[in-house]
Amino acid sequence: AAAFMGIFKNDPAYADMKVVCVGGMYPESNEALQEEYGVEILNTPEEMIGKVDAAMITCRDGKYHAGYAKKFIEAGIPVFVDKPFTVDGQEARELIELAKEKNVPLVGGSAVKSAYDIVMLKTKVEEENAQVKGGSMVAPLSMHNEYSGFYFYSSHLAEMCLNTFGYNPKAVTAIECNDNVTAMVEYDGFTVSLLFSEGAYQ
């Protein structure tokens, strides 16, 4: 939340936007943001509805994301959900279906998928005469943490792969060894290997 607040305050591209409130399960963080940015603390979506035009859900633990996001979507408020989008596939699908039903914009996940290098790779893969033979990507992982373990960091690499090579792989096979996870993502005509590397973020 602090990183996003800094962007909204300091980037001229967002000069017409204002963060009016923060809330949720991290009181110390909320109080620090209130002190630095002068925002109001409102702890529930219900308190915020009617005071905001859009919402950002940034719990460090993705298991809470859907619960918060649903309240805003049901009220017709556009939502950005930070990574991980959720920690449950069915819950993610239900959130997407609700947004479609209510015709409410819903975006989010890992911002790494929009990094310059990933966008350039995606462009190369999509070129008319592209002959993709395969791919390999590596990114850090944290298997042991208080934020739903594997899900806390894994969405970065998963979304990098999907944005680069496509969102409709035929199959995915994964194995875990010594807290590192290797996944083989099978597409039509080629396979991409992903290594989720424990501890590499340190």
Give the tens place of pLDDT for each residue, 142-176.
Answer: 999 999 999 999 999 999 999 999 999 999 999 99
Q: Is the dihedral of CA 36, 20, 63, 119 positive or negative?
A: negative
Q: pTM for the whole thing? A: 0.88
- How far apart CA 12 and CA 10 sit, in angstroms, is 6
pLDDT of residue 202: 55
Q: Is 112 exposed, middle or buried (0-12, 13-18, 19+ CB in 10 A)?
A: middle
User: 83: Cβ–Cβ under 8 A, 6 or more apart, which residues?
Assistant: 62, 108, 109, 110, 111, 155, 156, 159
DSSP H or E run through 182: strand 180-187
Q: What DSSP element (H or E) covers 82?
A: strand 79-82
Predicted confidence at residue 99, as pLDDT, reads 98
The band of 24, judged by pLDDT with boundaries at 50, 70 and 90, is: confident
Alpha helix ranges (H) inside the chain = 2-10, 27-37, 45-48, 65-74, 89-102, 116-126, 151-165
Q: pLDDT band for position 21 (50/70/90)?
A: very high
pLDDT digits over 69-96, tens only? 999 999 999 999 999 999 999 999 999 9
Average pLDDT, the chain: 94
Give residue 200's pLDDT.
73
Q: Does an H or E element contain 109, and which?
A: strand 106-109
Q: Residue 68 gets which letter from DSSP? A: H
| Contacts (Cβ under 8 Å, ≥6 apart) of 13 | none
Per-residue confidence band for 201, with pLDDT thresholds at 50, 70 and 90: low
Local confidence band at 133 (pLDDT 50, 70, 90 cut-offs): very high
Look at residue 130 in the predicted model and tell me its pLDDT: 85
pLDDT band of residue 125 (cuts 50, 70, 90) is: very high
